[in-house]
Structure 1
Amino acid sequence: MTSSELTVGDLIDSLSARDRSAPVRLAMNPFFPMVHRIERVLESVDETGRAVVYLAEGRDADAQLGHLPTEVAVALTWQGPVRAPTRRARRRAGGN
């Protein structure tokens, strides 16, 4: 297991500090960040025989909820903070 992998214990510890009534969403694809609804939690084994837990997206058409909120993508470092472009003075009719 690589050090960047989240364990079930890590997930439980992190979730136990959160609002128990809050829905859980899955943020996917840092290059086109989307939000998905989690429907099931499954356990299996990998090719080495270790237990692995999967968070599965629902099969319904509305399981993909849309774009990931910008503040979440920034917190995940999937994108940098976006700043509005600076405003230029408007030109007037007649070239001024």
Structure 2
Amino acid sequence: MTVGDILDLLSTCDRDTPVRLAINPFFPMAHRLGCVEMAVDEHGRPMVYIAESPEAEQIGPLPPAVAVALTWQDPVEAPPRRRRGATGPNAGQ
């Protein structure tokens, strides 16, 4: 992915929308973005790095729909509920 790809993807978003970084497909968490740094890689090519916030703050678990959209997990449906029988001292009367 290039800077142009990111700009194209973000160009459809409202400029005031907060951005989160999705981390770790095996334990998907959301993090606040910190800074963007330009550097040169080991081959002399320009690179851009996006870092998490200096506080390294996890916002919390990634919403399940986002983890599914990233293909980090399969869609999950709640198991069907079955009707439970009555309980207690007067059950079944």
TM-fit CA distance, 1:90: 1.4
Q: Distance in 2 between matches of 1:90 and 1:64?
A: 39
Q: How does 1:38-57 map to 2 (within 5 A)?
A: 38-57=33-52
Letter of the aligned partner of 2:33 in structure 1?
I
- 2:30 is matched with 35
Identity %: 59
Q: CA deviation at 1:92?
A: 4.0
Q: Distance in 2 between matches of 1:66 and 1:92?
A: 38
Compute the TM-score of the two structures, normalised by the length of structure 1: 0.84
TM-score by length of 2: 0.86
Could you say what secondary structure the match of 2:14 adopts? coil
Aligned residues between the structures: 90
Q: CA RMSD in A?
A: 1.8
Distance, in Å, in 2 between the alignment partners of 1:92 and 1:14 is 54
Q: Which amino acid aligns with 1:64?
A: Q
Say which one has the larger Rg. 2
For residues 31 and 21 of structure 1, what CA distance do their matches in structure 2 show? 30
- Structure 1 position 85 matched with structure 2 position 72: no
5+ residue gaps in structure 1? 1-5
Q: Secondary structure at the match of 1:32?
A: coil
CA distance in 1, matches of 2:15, 2:2: 19
Which residue of structure 2 lines up, in the alignment, with residue 9 of structure 1? 4
CA distance in 1, matches of 2:41, 2:26: 27
Q: Within the alignment, does 1:20 sit opposite 2:15 as a pair?
A: yes
Unaligned segments of structure 2, at least 5 residues:
none
From 72, 75, 78, the equivalent of 2:69 is 75
